[in-house]
Amino acid sequence: MQSVKRIGLLGGSFDPIHKGHLQLAKAILKDGCDEVWLLPCVVSPLKENKLSNFDLRVKMIQAAIRPFKKMKVCTIEKQLPLPSYTYNTLQVLKKKMPQIQFIFYIGNDQAKQLDQWYRIEDCLKLCEFRIFRRDEAEIQCPYHLKTVNLPLIPISSTQVRKGRIQDVPKSVAHIIWEKGLYLEEMTAASMSEKRYLHSLSVAQTSKEIASAHHLDEKKAYRAGLLHDLCKQMPQEAMEAWMKLKEPMHLHEPKAIWHGYIVDHMLKRKFVIRDKDLLCAVHHHVAGESKNAYAMIVFIADKCNPLRNYDISRQLSLAKSNLKKAREVVSEEQKNYLKERN
């Protein structure tokens, strides 16, 4: 007699999927499941934050689980009414595949508020629920459910969105960069609000200058947004980066080190290979490069609208003659530094 197929269900927003999710999926397989299906929700009933595009989240999941034959992505919630209630999902799955034994896995944080789930009593009748126990953490759940031990995984999608791109597979990092996901959130998390507003202004100004020269607006915007990503990095970390990657510039003022470091950070975090963008962020301080995007970000940084002086003449020149504008702004910058000694 053939045994019943057991499929573990792992729901979530997966915004984005990260290495911790993959560890959870592997633990589900070890718990006796034949397959594990990842169930991205369209919207989360118990979360207020707006989620990224559903299809993009699915694309990232597919990229992450591609090496694992027993992991699948189930997009059934896209076909169901909103909000994405687990009850609706389980009801449809059981109706379509009554011969399958489904097991729904949740974390301790979800277990605490399980009684708030829509028609939870009916959910428990449709499917067995199990809780991931992390180390010796106390399980706080209004229902008596079986637990599955799991080592502590200190990774979260929130941390990834704030810059911990190393916590996602490289295939996912490529998609994040390709689609420009979370860039504003990452930038905001790495600096003060004032510096972030400056970066947004530089990004928009870079985009406008690029448009005037029929260049890639998206590339210019990203370079402008990320140019100060390392500006407020702790001094010790900045010095370590400089010793490792730019020792020949260690003698230069620490105030400009962030310009040398940021391109290395982007190459490591996002696996970025766009030479124009890397050149632009690397040279945004001194403005020595004649690369079009480097000139754009240099000008936008020194002449963005948030500065406390009139920069309309320089910006107008930048939109008509990029090279001449770089020379003018560079000369003004030198004179300004001389006055400041």
Task: Note the pLDDT tens digit of each residue in 64-120.
Answer: 999 999 999 999 999 998 887 899 999 999 999 999 999 999 988 889 899 999 999
Spatial CA neighbour of 106 closest among 23, 19, 29, 8: 8
- Mean pLDDT score, 208-221: 97
- DSSP-based three-state secondary structure for 291: coil
Q: For the chain, where are the alpha helices, taking DSSP H only?
A: 19-30, 54-65, 86-96, 108-112, 120-126, 157-161, 170-179, 183-189, 193-212, 217-226, 235-245, 257-270, 275-282, 292-302, 312-318, 322-340
Name 227's Cβ contacts closer than 8 Å, sequence gap at least 6: 199, 202, 259, 262, 280, 281, 284, 297, 301
What pLDDT is stored for residue 1 in this prediction? Answer: 45
Average pLDDT over the chain reads: 91
pLDDT band at 271 (very low <50, low <70, confident <90, very high): confident
pLDDT band at 47 (very low <50, low <70, confident <90, very high): low
For residue 3, the 8-state DSSP code is: P
Residue 214 has pLDDT above 80, yes or no: yes
Q: How far is CA 125 from CA 84, 90, 133, 321, in A?
A: 19, 10, 22, 70
Residue 257 has pLDDT above 50, yes or no: yes
Domain residue limits, the chain: 6-157, 182-340
What pLDDT is stored for residue 270 in this prediction? Answer: 77
Lowest mean pLDDT segment, chosen from 85-94, 219-228, 266-275, 278-287: 266-275
What pLDDT is stored for residue 341 in this prediction? Answer: 62
Percentage of residues in the chain with pLDDT exceeding 70?
97
Name 188's Cβ contacts closer than 8 Å, sequence gap at least 6: 196
Fold of 182-340: Hypothetical protein af1432 (1.10.3210)
**CATH no. of 6-157:** 3.40.50.620
- Mean pLDDT score, 297-313: 87
- Mean pLDDT score, 174-187: 94
Structure tokens at 26: 């592997």
